[in-house]
Chains A and B, each alone.
Chain A
């Protein structure tokens, strides 16, 4: 074989295993059926204490320009993890599109499972018997700003001056008002944030503060909660879910944020 042929056959020989999640190695073999991405057969590779839920694939990531297709893949990824959870108990979920590749990818999976056994045990112990929930609390920022402007005496005074100010002076007066409103808004949101954080923290085993991506979001948390405590969390959120705040409570999710 010349170099090119050697290279080509090497490429052809590399295969992949798409990784859904890791769970405790079961006492008997599991075949999940053709429930994977693109209808692939999902099954288990076990090694030592743990197993990986996989399907066979090419040694390259799944990509597409078709949004509907990608959406379906992602839903399938989640669905497989759901089913695996039912059969294996709490599992450690993978990110979407993680693939182990190699000439003998099964061996790679086994090697990885064995090498990472301690690490995996640590992670699984943390999340065992618990589920992840997303909590977002929204508030009407504009409304709060208005409230501050109406109630703050310093602002009232500045607004009086504003009435008879020239264009240039008015600009700086407005900036001053904006600064005061901003400061008070921050104080208020800090206050509520701490209050809600406290209430939610009491009901969760672990809490992660997430980035805020949408306007008018006061807080964005991921919580790891034992099944029996979820009701208590729901009750706390009911108390919070009153004007001017609104609560978005999502889940249960596999513990994506805690692995």
Chain B
């Protein structure tokens, strides 16, 4: 069986995944930062530096996604991961139902094909 992956496909897929992960990490960083600020442990200067760095990160991520034209890829990966996570949690809560639930998770994703 021949597999025709062309560069464009692969780029979209890989970049979509990578940027989705980057966004998720960025979200975690942001949450951490907000917690620290609310705990009152940071000086004004530190807050300023943190906020500025995160703002730059946001902008950089936006830019890459826009330039590479992968907005949809990223959305789909994150959406798929949400469904996947949801299904996994459901399975943990109701293991007997697990079989049915995982079968219905059709919207995710494909196993990675090594060329």
- Count of chain B residues with a beta carbon within 8 Å of a chain A beta carbon: 18
Is B62 on the interface with A (CB-CB < 8 A)?
no
A60 to B3, CA, bound (A): 21
Interface window among A83-91, A166-174, A191-199: A166-174
What band does the interface of chain A fall in when counting residues whose beta carbon is under 8 Å from B?
10 to 19
Is B91 on the interface with A (CB-CB < 8 A)?
no
Residues 73-104 of chain B, each 1 if its beta carbon lies under 8 Å from chain A, else 0 = 00100010001000000000000000000000
A169 to B46, CA, bound (A): 10
Is B50 on the interface with A (CB-CB < 8 A)?
yes
Nearest-CB residue, chain A, relative to B51 = A168
Q: Is the CB of A167 within 8 A of B55?
A: yes
Q: Is the CB of A170 within 8 A of B107?
A: no
Chain A residues whose CB sits within 8 angstroms of the CB of B53 once the complex forms: 168
Chain B residues whose CB sits within 8 angstroms of the CB of A171 once the complex forms: 51-52, 54-55, 58
Q: Is the CB of A167 within 8 A of B51?
A: yes
Given contacts A167-B55, A213-B79, A213-B107, contact A175 B34 (CB under 8 A): yes
Is A211 on the interface with B (CB-CB < 8 A)?
yes
A170 to B58, CA, bound (A): 13
Given contacts A175-B30, A211-B107, A213-B107, contact A170 B51 (CB under 8 A): yes
Q: Is the CB of A172 within 8 A of B107?
A: no
Chain B residues whose CB sits within 8 angstroms of the CB of A167 once the complex forms: 48, 51-52, 55
Is B47 on the interface with A (CB-CB < 8 A)?
yes
Among A157-196, those with CB < 8 Å from B are 166-172, 175
Residues 189-226 of chain A, each 1 if its beta carbon lies under 8 Å from chain B, else 0 = 00000000000000000000001010100000000000
A211 to B50, CA, bound (A): 37
Among A44-99, those with CB < 8 Å from B are none
Residues 6-47 of chain B, each 1 if its beta carbon lies under 8 Å from chain A, else 0 = 000000000000000000000000100110010000000001
A175 to B34, CA, bound (A): 9
A175 to B30, CA, bound (A): 9
Q: How far is the CB of B27 from chain A (nearest CB, A)?
A: 11
Q: Is the CB of A172 within 8 A of B83?
A: no
Given contacts A211-B83, A211-B107, A213-B107, contact A168 B34 (CB under 8 A): no
Q: Is the CB of B79 within 8 A of A168?
A: no
Q: Is the CB of A168 within 8 A of B30?
A: no
Q: Is the CB of A168 within 8 A of B50?
A: yes
Q: How far is the CB of B48 from chain A (nearest CB, A)?
A: 3
Nearest-CB residue, chain B, relative to A210 = B104
Nearest-CB residue, chain A, relative to B50 = A168
A172 to B75, CA, bound (A): 24
A143 to B114, CA, bound (A): 44
Q: Is the CB of B79 within 8 A of A172?
A: no
Q: Is the CB of A169 within 8 A of B48?
A: yes
Sample of 13 further A-B pairs with CB below 8 A, known A171-B52, A172-B51, A175-B34? A167-B48, A167-B52, A168-B47, A168-B48, A169-B47, A169-B48, A169-B51, A170-B51, A171-B51, A171-B54, A171-B58, A172-B37, A213-B79
Hey, which bits of chain A sit against chain B, CB under 8 A? 166-172, 175, 211, 213, 215
